[in-house]
Amino acid sequence: MSGSSTGTKTDGRVERGNQTRRLVLGRTMDIASVEGLEGLSLGRISTELELSKSGVFALFGSKEELQLATVRAAVAVFADRVVAPLKELPPGARRVRALCRNWLAYSSERVFSGGCFFYAVSAEFDARTGPVHDAVAQARRDWIAYVEDALTEARSVGELDEDLDVEQFAFEVIALMEAANAQSVLFGDPGAYERAERGIAARLLSSATERGRGELDDPA
């Protein structure tokens, strides 16, 4: 057998494995957003997706690794939907507003069936210990830090008040977004997102400088 044909077969197996992995994680993210990460199992996924259990086990090895891979996959989806669209926006008040709008859209458009994946699994693992708890906690720390960085940058370019308490502001706007997610999921109330956006807009305007208010008045 030639080296090229061996390489082709190997590449084919790798690609099939990658496709199976994407298929599995697409399903596990959705399940976890509704039922939690404890709702995942290698047997369940192999049955639902009509895959061999041995094949799924070969990809993930254990329930815990499946849970961790699901968290990592959800981080990538979140980054793609919430953070990536901001790349053309310069630091400032408009960027903060767009970041919050992207999060509200990510939740309201049900990128995951249960709303925000991280809101759901944080409630599930907040009082636990172990690698899955640590992965969920790190994802949330990264998100909070990203919001705080966006606010710090907006303050540094003169669009938010120089004495703004960034940690407090971030806490408040994240709380508004997560309250909208929770109320929408529990009550089927899409108006919760509009109320959250109004609250965030009011908080931004109250902390914006004259230059920042000018940016926020821009409908773009």
20-71 residue pLDDT tens: 999 999 999 999 999 999 999 999 999 999 999 999 999 999 999 999 999 9
pTM: 0.90
Question: In terms of residue numbers, what domain contains 164?
Answer: 3-217
pLDDT at 89: 96
CATH code: domain of residue 158: 1.10.357.10
Q: How far is CA 141 from CA 82, 134, 210, in A?
A: 16, 10, 31
In the chain, the amino acid numbered 88 is E
pLDDT at 5: 59
pLDDT at 6: 58
* Bridge partners, residue 160, by sequence: 208
pLDDT at 220: 57
Domain count, the chain: 1
pLDDT at 56: 92
pLDDT at 148: 98
Rounded Cα gap, residues 178 and 181, in angstroms:
5
| Residue numbers in the chain where pLDDT is lower than 70 | 1-10, 13, 219-220
Which candidate, 204, 214, 85, 105, places its Cα nearest to that of 151?
204
Instruction: Name every residue whose Cβ is closer than 8 Å to that of residue 164 and which is 6 or more positions away in sequence.
Output: 151, 155, 207
